Structure 1
């Protein structure tokens, strides 16, 4: 799927987004992006083993993608490439093939190429919040 179609289907129309690397710390970019997306009508699923069992922006935080209930449309990665070792295997545990969105700072050409070979749609380096603000109004 081309980026324009991804934007239309999953960004300009609020979707279900798993946020891998979620944080309750208000000074973190991931928190600001999540707060914005929540206010724009997205359904968020925070994922971070360090905060599992707590809530982030009123949503329960899961330890990993495999613990999410229901499907998601987008998996947004807020992890550095060094921390993405299990992402491909974790994605395989999901009931569907979501778009994998690499936020700025999470770029990983090797993982993006691997996921595309496996049939995932990938956005290799863009900010969900910025794209929503700039392309969906």
Structure 2
């Protein structure tokens, strides 16, 4: 967990990110981080039952509904902006849906759930900000989209 190679792999191989807890409120970190990732070429799929759309994308009430609407293998990464008590259920969904990567943002860490995900073969980053990691990597855009 949190190995530099894992972080780099996730940032390199991910095209579509389901963001659980993405808000449409300007004062929320989830919106700022997701907007940045979208500006770098990643497709952002909002997962939040309280909103209809954000960042030009339809929001889905659950991860299941997002995967069903987009099709299998369309979402590579689940990025979580929820309180730690919600993470175990999210991990169960990620495992059941056979998604490759899980990113638990700062404040969303849950060591036991993260360990469960890793045991199931999911690569996990926990208590790190994807925006900060992306900036630290120094890439100007998504590797497959940079000319």
- Asked if 1:5 corresponds to 2:14, the answer is no
CA contact (8 A) 2:15 2:42 kept: yes
Choose from 72, 77, 80 the match for 1:77. Answer: 80
Choose from 87, 92, 97 the match for 2:90. Answer: 87
CA contact (8 A) 2:2 2:125 kept: no
Residue 114 of structure 2: aligned partner: 112
Q: Pick closer, same or farther for the CA change 1:12–1:133 going to 2, 3 Å.
A: farther
Q: Pick closer, same or farther for the CA change 1:46–1:11 going to 2, 3 Å.
A: same
CA distance in structure 1 between the partners assigned to 2:106 and 2:12 by the alignment? 19
- Asked if 1:46 corresponds to 2:78, the answer is no
CA contact (8 A) 1:14 1:41 kept: no
More moved, 71-80 vs 5-14: 5-14
Unpaired runs of 5+ residues, structure 2, are 140-147
Residue 29 of structure 2: aligned partner: 29
SS in 2 for 1:84: helix
TM-score (norm 2): 0.82
Aligned length: 134
TM-score (norm 1): 0.87
- Offset at 1:134? 1.1
CA distance in structure 2 between the partners assigned to 1:93 and 1:12 by the alignment? 24
Residue 131 of structure 2: aligned partner: 129
RMSD: 1.9
SS in 2 for 1:104: coil
